[in-house]
Amino acid sequence: MDGMAVKEVAGLGATIRAWRERLSPSTVGLPSGRARRATGLRREELAERAGLSVDYVVRLEQGRATAPSAQVVASLARALRLSTAERDHLYRMAGLVSPNGDPVPDHLPPGVHRVLNRLGDVAVAVFAADWQLIWWNPGWAALLGDPSAKAPELRNFARERFPVGSEDVRVAAWPVLVRNSADSDLAIVSDLRRATGRFPHDVRLAELIRELTEGSPAFARLWASGEVGAHREDRKTVEHPRAGLVEVDCDVLTDGDSDLKIVILSAVPGSADEARLRLAMTPTP
């Protein structure tokens, strides 16, 4: 499985230097006398703490060494006293998979939950980093059908876009037409590729990638290509059984380190589609 991050060579040396210079000598048990001219730790001190040569630290900071090993990165992270997020960022800049053992989060932060609950006039759902559906509002259920009718393990958008076998894995209860399906497919595969770098030891994610790679030629082709895409504003047409064809904008927001994906479906204000969306979201008597 390819969880390799794209190297950020240009920023690696500058970032190491910034972290070195912010580290107070006193915090690592070194004297901080007035004679010190360096801000934070000296290169020699970082090299000693990390078990590296001074020359190698110099070459790293100057961008002349651009491919440190995982062992070197781990030593630098400890010597620089990096947080978990900073350590993972250092691994990514070095083109390495971080040793993060965290599972893909399925938890929706309370603050985000409160904000989403206030979006009553749009359809909103939240997916985990592996595109597992974990939350939706009443508007989403009204527009696309109530996902609770499906078993939790089948509520995965990647499985819907790249079906394997004959099992019904549609997240929506009725047809949804995607305007730019090729771009959307590429974005989903790219999201999963990024997730494997963020959560390299997650069993559920690894099993999903295995199933899709072995069972979906379309997914396997995109995965093998190594192409990277980004989510763009997209438009979808929902074939709603009561409101008819409803064209909506689909926007995807990402929530920080958890990589939660907040999907918002809305219609152009004042349009016929907005009227149909309201009809779809109006409870039946």
pLDDT digits 0-9 by tens, 13-45: 888 888 888 888 877 777 665 566 666 888 998
Mean pLDDT, rounded, of the chain: 85
Of the residues 68, 93, 118, the one at which a domain ends? 93
Do 55 and 195 lie in a common domain? no
Do 134 and 76 lie in a common domain? no
Do 114 and 81 lie in a common domain? no
Query: Is residue 187 a contact partner of residue 127, using CB atoms and an 8 Å limit?
Result: no
5: left (phi over 0), alpha (psi -120 to 50) or beta: beta
N-to-C CA span, the chain: 51
Do 203 and 276 lie in a common domain? yes
Residue 131 lies in a domain: yes
Do 166 and 269 lie in a common domain? yes
Query: What pLDDT does residue 190 have?
Result: 87
Residue 223 lies in a domain: yes
- Would the pLDDT of 2 be above 60? no
Residue 4 lies in a domain: no
Neighbouring residues of 221: CB distance < 8 A, sequence distance ≥ 6 = none
The whole model's pTM is what?
0.70
Cα–Cα distance measured from residue 171 to residue 127, given in angstroms and rounded to the nearest whole number: 11
The tens digit of pLDDT for each residue in 155-203 reads 999 999 999 887 777 888 889 998 888 888 988 998 888 888 778 888 9
Q: Where are the alpha helices (DSSP H) in 94-180?
A: 110-117, 138-144, 157-161
Query: What pLDDT does residue 269 have?
Result: 93
Do 51 and 157 lie in a common domain? no
Residue 205 lies in a domain: yes
The tens digit of pLDDT for each residue in 274-285 reads 999 999 998 876
Q: Specify the CATH number for the domain of residue 21.
A: 1.10.260.40
Residue 101 lies in a domain: no
Structural domain count, the chain: 2
Do 262 and 122 lie in a common domain? yes
Do 122 and 39 lie in a common domain? no
CB atoms within 10 A of CB 51: 12
- Would the pLDDT of 239 be above 90? yes
Of the residues 62, 93, 124, the one at which a domain ends? 93
Cα–Cα distance measured from residue 236 to residue 74, given in angstroms and rounded to the nearest whole number: 45
Residue 104 lies in a domain: no
**30 or 208, higher pLDDT:** 208
Query: What pLDDT does residue 36 have?
Result: 63
Do 42 and 130 lie in a common domain? no
CB atoms within 10 A of CB 113: 12
Do 160 and 228 lie in a common domain? yes
Question: Which residue range forms the structural domain that includes residue 31?
Answer: 9-93
Do 144 and 29 lie in a common domain? no
**144 or 86, higher pLDDT:** 144
Residue 102 lies in a domain: no
SS3 assignment, position 194? helix
Residue 178 lies in a domain: yes
- Would the pLDDT of 65 be above 70? yes
